[in-house]
Amino acid sequence: MNAPVVRSDRGVTIVGGGAVSPEDLKTALSVAPLLVAADGGADRAMQLGYQPDWVIGDLDSISDRSRRSIASERLCHVAEQDSTDFTKSLTRISAPFTMAVGFAGLRLDHTLAALTAMANIAQPVTIMIASDDIVFVAPPRIHLPLAEDVRVSLYPLGAARGRSRGLQWPIDGIDFSPEGRIGTSNRATGPVDLEVEGKMLVMLPRTQLANVMIALGLVAE
């Protein structure tokens, strides 16, 4: 068990070295103001004008320039190579939730690794912001206050089943798996209730971030 090195009673933003727009980082920091860089994500953050509060990882990607600008006690060096810098970061943060930016858009292998980490690490709750979408792991039950015709995509990371109300194509009785049935490009007919058994990613338009945070109990309605 890894002891947390970053503790916050608010959300924490984790920035990676992938594609990050100024709007991505601004949106994440507006709800999760403490900034942790996953190794080379420190360079990405500083390119956008933000100084990371912490840097966590094996520190093989951060530039010397960025390293010199950050206090040594805020550099958390994790030497092992059995996990990604994103996993190293997630497992060393104690916070109600994390926002992940910079883990989609450049390298598909990094994106898949980050999504897998989200599914395998239950706490903190993590929401990934991509260029057009937000992604999170479905809890056993969730009520999503969505409007009619909002796109709802479900993607299993293993065997999964569920029940739904408020989807154009209900998921009741379907056996989901990556090599079988998946649930992309569904549509809301109004507010959506999901019950899920197994590891299932939920992907929604990023305009639904506030609704997702309410649904996950991260902010008051």
Q: Residue 80 sits in a domain of what CATH number?
A: 3.40.50.10240
Q: Are residues 12 and 59 in the same domain?
A: yes
How many whole angstroms separate alpha carbon 213 and alpha carbon 215?
Answer: 5
On the 0-12 / 13-18 / 19+ scale of CB atoms within 10 A, 171 is buried
- Is 220 a domain residue? no
Identify whether 197 is part of a domain.
yes
The tens place of each residue's pLDDT in the chain, 221 residues long, gives 578 999 999 999 999 999 899 999 999 999 999 999 999 999 999 999 999 999 999 999 999 999 999 999 999 999 888 899 999 999 999 999 999 999 987 788 889 999 999 999 988 999 999 989 999 999 999 999 999 999 999 999 999 999 999 999 999 999 999 999 999 999 999 999 999 999 999 999 999 999 999 999 998 76
Nearest to 55 by CA among 5, 111, 105: 5
Structural domain boundaries enclosing 176: 137-215
Query: What is the rounded CA–CA span in Å between residue 126 and residue 115?
Result: 10
pTM score: 0.94
Q: Which amino acid is at 162?
A: G
Number of separate domains in the chain: 2
Sign of the CA dihedral with 78 first, then 2, 51, and 124 last: positive
Of 90, 105, 187, 80, give the one whose Cα is nearest residue 137.
Answer: 90
Measuring CA to CA, how many Å separate 219 from each of 32, 90, 97, 128, 211?
11, 20, 11, 17, 9
Q: Are residues 154 and 100 in the same domain?
A: no
Give the Cα separation of 55 and 67 in Å (integer): 9
127 and 158: one domain? Answer: no
Residues 121 and 144 in one domain: no
